[in-house]
Chains A and B, each alone.
Chain A
Amino acid sequence: MSTAIHLAFKEIWRNRGRFLLFSMVVGLITLLVLFVAALGEGLGSGNREYLEKLNADLIAYQDTARLTIASSRVDCTTRRAIRVVEGVRAVGAIGFAGASIPLEGEPEPMDISLIGVEPGQPGEPPVVRGTGLVRRSADEAIVDRTVALMSGLQVGDRVVIRSTQGNEDEFYDLQVVGITDSRKYGLRASVFVPIVTWDEIRPKASLGPGAEDPACNVVAVQLEDPSQSEAMRQLLQAQVGDIEAVDRQTAYENTPGYTAQQSTLNTQNTFALLIGILVIGGFFQIQTLQKVPQIGMLKAIGTPNSTIAVASMVQILIITVVGVAIGSLASFGLSLTFPPNIPIVFEPRSGAMAVVSLLLIGPVGGLVSIRYSLRVEPLVALGLG
């Protein structure tokens, strides 16, 4: 074992330029894999973040909407029916719309998800600064962290929301009462307003005040016993009628394009890992082919196959670990330079899984070259191989 490690380290050290270059190739593959993973996480969370963090056990849609939020309309009668089902603790209407915030000094406004919620009910996000919403109809808003970072808004500031009413852009002046953590929806940062205010601001065919009890897109349902969510889901659908209730995961997996997007990015990552295996395998195979006479000589003087195999494996591991470390550090460094609106999120769990996958591709890629080196005949040293 010690002889194998000695040989592995000596070869790396005496050819450090070549091995470092290859480690950097592994580093670039690592960078690619980590960024695709981070992009997947960023795009995924940009789509699902609000729904994933929603303080509700079930989400109720109009049954004909086929779990498409934009197509779903739930009126106040239905909400009341949900509220009185035994086992339901609280319900909150949620409305989704698109709007924008003009930014000072910026030519383009920032697109946002304008989300209407009922103050104090499921759907309203917890604030990290400031206070929650107080009334169903008020010129106040909670902005999420991304909006705050991009616009520089603080609690107490006024925020202007631009929304299209008919053929005209209308501007609504609201007071920021709270800031919540990142709660993106539809790949846009979110601004939360009372549901009646939302009904007034949301883009409509004509300008007009919000309804006192507007129809919303979905209803967030909190249960007395969250462990009974499946039974309650069926009970709600049976008792209320005209609704389809699902858990949060099902809800965000059914947001338009989410599953296709995640599948695409996962496929990209799988291919990046496969390319990694081929690149590492190819490098070590070429290196082994170049070393056939030397391997033959080593075997001819009595070097056991195990020593040659362990030396190769140690080299593969060192190069892979160094490459993955270089790639990880580069990814981390680059990620610090990205503005918050770019959907790249380095999530520890997916990052760790990507790193483990990358660490595994080295040995997997190198297996063919190790097998090849074990099959080199010592007779090649005598020109008889």
Chain B
Amino acid sequence: MTVALEAQSVVKQYPVGSGTVTAVDGASFRLQPGEFVALVGPSGSGKTTMLAMLATLLAPTSGSIVIGGQDLADMSQRERTRFRRRNIGFTFQDNNLVSYLTALENVELMLRLNGEFNATGRKRARELLELLGLEERMNVLPRQLSGGQQQRVAIARSLISRPTLLLADEPTASLDTERAFQVVETLATLVHEQGHAGIMVTHDLRMVEFADRIIHMLDGRVERIITPQDDLSCLADPAACRLITPDVLGIEASTAA
């Protein structure tokens, strides 16, 4: 099976004063199509920087990122923008939608940007919103939607162009528990059903139950890669699990698929 995403020894350093700060330190992992992964870790662990590099918004200092067989390092800025538009679906913590476009228009925006705004695309946009339970809310503006509905519209927009990789940055941060579970479950289901590869960055460890795997980042490194069925207590208290390495768990972080 083709690998959807392969990150290999990815390093990101920022210059600070006369020195550098390493935000991501040699992270490696793979995702298969149809796989939904949670990227967790405390603040400052490097998960958002990792997400930005996967989204082609930041270039790694070293290492490689290959999405759908294409190495991001070979791309110019313009090519990255085009690649992002066509191959990466994105949902954010907030400010997800264009405030002056209706729910349907927000989803159709991706079709317009990709030159796919035709009858087929528009039908698919409606179907996607219906699938997400928004058939009655298609023609209202974001401010008239609840937080959960806005996130579902963002999910529809991120999926409309059938991206290789779906990235979700804290998609439940502004939602109550019930809606948060609904949104993540929907995200995971669509990733599984439609064969995208999905990565969700989250602080909320309750949400990892919908993931196929959990990538735990700590101090810029991939600390461990586990499944929701494993002991998750290390995620909440990494210091207590310091001696339990991915190798001990039978998972090789650097090449895990």
Contact = CB atoms under 8 A, between A and B. Distances in A.
Interface of A: 2-3, 6-7, 10-11, 13-15, 293-294, 296-304, 307, 378-379, 381-384
Given A15-B100, A304-B81, A382 B52 contact: yes
Contact of A302 (B49, B82, B93, B95): B82
B58 interface: yes
Given A7-B98, A297-B96, A382 B57 contact: yes
B105 interface: yes
A261 B253 CA distance: 82
A304 B77 CA distance: 10
Given A2-B112, A382-B52, A297 B58 contact: no
Contacts, number: 76
B95 A381 contact: yes
B249 to A, nearest CB: 30
B85 A301 contact: yes
User: In terms of DSSP, what is the predominant structure of the interface of chain A?
Assistant: helix
29 contacts: A3-B112, A7-B109, A11-B100, A13-B100, A14-B101, A14-B141, A294-B95, A294-B98, A300-B55, A300-B57, A301-B84, A301-B110, A301-B157, A301-B158, A302-B81, A302-B82, A302-B85, A302-B86, A304-B81, A304-B82, A378-B57, A379-B52, A379-B57, A381-B92, A382-B55, A382-B92, A382-B169, A384-B57, A384-B58
Contacts of B58: 379, 384
A307 B93 contact: no
Nearest to B110: A301
Contacts of A383: 48, 93
B99 interface: yes
Nearest to B55: A300
Nearest to B89: A301
B57 A10 contact: no
Interface in B150-190: 157-158, 169
Contacts of A7: 98, 101, 109
Nearest to A380: B95
Interface of B: 48-49, 51-52, 55, 57-58, 78, 81-82, 84-86, 88, 90, 92-96, 98-101, 105, 109-110, 112-113, 141, 157-158, 169
Nearest to B58: A379
Given A301-B110, A383-B48, A10 B95 contact: no
A289 to B, nearest CB: 14
B189 to A, nearest CB: 22
Contact of B99 (A6, A294, A296): A294
Given A294-B99, A297-B92, A302 B51 contact: no
B119 to A, nearest CB: 16
A114 B157 CA distance: 79
A2 B114 CA distance: 12
Residue among A301, A307, A384 with the most chain B CB within 10 A?
A: A301
A373 to B, nearest CB: 14
A318 to B, nearest CB: 14
A301 to B, nearest CB: 5
Given A301-B157, A304-B81, A379-B58, A14 B100 contact: yes
